[in-house]
Amino acid sequence: MEPASATSSPSPSAPCAARAAGEEFLARLRLSVPLAAESRREWCCGRWGALYCCLCLRRLTSAPEPQDLGLPVLILRHPKETPPKSSAAPLPLLSQDITVHEWAGDTPLPCADPTPGTWLVFPRKDASDAEEVDWGSVKGLVLVDSRWKHAKAMADHPVLAQLPAMKLGGGSSCFWRTATEKLAIPGLLSTAECVHQLLLLRAARLSLPNAGRLDDLLYFFALRLRLVLEEYGSDVARCCPWCTETSRRAAVHRGNDRQKAKSQELFNRLLGKLSQ
């Protein structure tokens, strides 16, 4: 099935360019374990889960064996980036070198005394392009996993601000979640995609032998993407999450406006009672 051209409207039988790119992404991955044919739901940690339990990090389906990356990767997850929605949550299941730590700005960070050669991955003004970094001197990576509106405040933390920073060039993301606001910085990737791209770049620069297994880091990301595409594929009117991004963002805004109106109404009622 060919993707629709830029000059024609996608028909119900043909995927849009974004969906076609997502399907191509899945087909292009070189995984050591084929994607599970189905995702069963299991009861774990007081909730139903599929693929993996995001609370105790137990696999609920077949998955590649954890791999050695050769350097530690610390991911600081903002509390509002809940584990079920985070692309980074299952990464520790795929490598013992990856740690996900919930961010709390008023408590010491795991990287409070960073090893020389530890880099922050964040597109701040002084960040070096990852293509130009001497990867032989990189001994560790720190990433921020949050909505964009919280990310800068996290990166400005004194411990993180002292680290040298690198950034990836513009890329194309297959992440299915919609940003609440249209972002001014194009080409941002999900945390899982970012880790994958950085480690591929490192492996290429240092001629590392494990490059062939790095796609395994996207195993759970790929499973979830396939489930999302299958769900949208059952409704030809929706096509894919990227086609409906604008309408979903508008729905979020309407919901926020309703919540603000309710809060204001409640405040006015309380103020009226106090003034009586």
pLDDT band at 154 (very low <50, low <70, confident <90, very high): very high
Q: What is the CA radius of gyration of the chain?
A: 21
What span, in angstroms and rounded, lies between the C-alpha atoms of 243 and 240? 5
For 84-107, write each residue's pLDDT tens digit.
Answer: 889 999 999 999 999 999 988 766
Q: Which residue has the tokens 């032998």?
A: 209
In terms of Cβ atoms closer than 10 Å to its own Cβ (0-12, 13-18, 19+), residue 121 is: buried
Average pLDDT over residues 3-24: 61
What span, in angstroms and rounded, lies between the C-alpha atoms of 58 and 45? 10
Sequential DSSP letters for 100-121:
EEE--TTS--TTSSPPTTEEEE
Residue 250: alpha-carbon gap to chain centroid: 22
| DSSP conformational letter for 71 | S
β partners of residue 43: 48
Q: Helices 219-233 & 17-28, crossing angle to 10 degrees?
A: 140
pLDDT band at 14 (very low <50, low <70, confident <90, very high): low
For 177-202, write each residue's pLDDT tens digit.
Answer: 766 555 556 567 899 999 999 999 99
Residue 13 has pLDDT above 80, yes or no: no
Most confident of 58-62, 138-142, 178-182, 258-262: 138-142
pTM score: 0.80
Q: For residue 4, what pLDDT is reported?
A: 37
Cα atoms in the Cβ-side hemisphere of radius 13 Å centred on 166: 23
pLDDT band at 248 (very low <50, low <70, confident <90, very high): low
β partners of residue 140: 118
For 55-85, write each residue's pLDDT tens digit.
Answer: 888 888 889 999 999 999 999 999 988 888 8
What span, in angstroms and rounded, lies between the C-alpha atoms of 227 and 123? 31
Q: Which residues contact 155 (CB under 8 A, 6 or more apart)?
A: 120, 122, 124, 144, 161, 165
Q: Which of 242, 192, 179, 218 is nearest to 25 (CA)?
A: 218
pLDDT band at 5 (very low <50, low <70, confident <90, very high): very low
Q: For residue 203, what pLDDT is reported?
A: 96
Residue 226 has pLDDT above 50, yes or no: yes
- Average pLDDT over the chain, rounded to whole? 84
Q: For residue 148, what pLDDT is reported?
A: 82
What span, in angstroms and rounded, lies between the C-alpha atoms of 226 and 247? 22
**Cα-based angle 99, 101, 103 (whole degrees, multiple of 5):** 155
